[in-house]
Amino acid sequence: MTLPTLGVNVNIYVVVEGVSEYKVYPEWIKQANPALVKSSYIDEVVENNFYMIGGGGYPYIFNVIDNAISDTNDNLQFDRLVIALDSEDFLLEERYLEIESHVRSKAPRVEVKIIIQHFCFETWALGNVKIGPKNPTNSELKAYKEIHNVIALDPEHLPELTSENLNRAQFAYKYLKLAVRDKGHHITYSKNKPDVVFHPKYFNALKDRLADTGHIGSFSSFLIAFI
């Protein structure tokens, strides 16, 4: 997928739902569009900057979205609002329409881009075929591969894991943790320490998976949001 570069004088206000995204998005935004530079404070936003705030999870994110719309209505330096959250147990379209309807009712001044991570951030991260379990040594990971081989099959089709009472987002998170740990070299993944996915090679592997197979299709909304 070849994407155009961002024009000059575009500033983006970013709302993310979860802990992982708050840590990962600044790294990935720079990789998606090197023209963008993170600003820690609204009054530092000048040109081709992005400012980010955490939403604190669902449903609290709606209050954060409302505040973000107010901020972007009042601060004329912003040109775009990006909102990112998980679909969780909803269909992607259902969650998108829920957010779109809420945003539209608030009459935002700026362009709004909605990123729905279907069904969670870890689903995207499972799209890296080098992280996927080719020859797993962990017995639990072997069982997960039998249930849904994320190397060959779209991670966005991962089912619930009823045997462990895990919904699909919880399953994706546990699957990713085990897959990363199985690589050895003291590599780990957690929501509070998602550093393993920061690297450009990881990000590019997801772009390649999307381009080559169409898998992790909702990841395209991230790429589009920051061009």
Average pLDDT value for the chain: 95
What pLDDT digit, counting tens, does each position of 169-193 carry? 999 999 999 999 999 878 999 999 9
What is the CATH number assigned to the segment(s) 12-122+198-225? 3.40.50
What pLDDT digit, counting tens, does each position of 40-49 carry? 999 999 999 9
Distance separating alpha carbons of residues 24 and 27, to the nearest angstrom: 5
What pLDDT digit, counting tens, does each position of 74-124 carry? 999 999 999 999 999 999 999 999 999 999 999 999 999 999 999 999 999
Q: What does the domain layout of the chain look like in residue ranges?
A: 12-122+198-225, 126-193
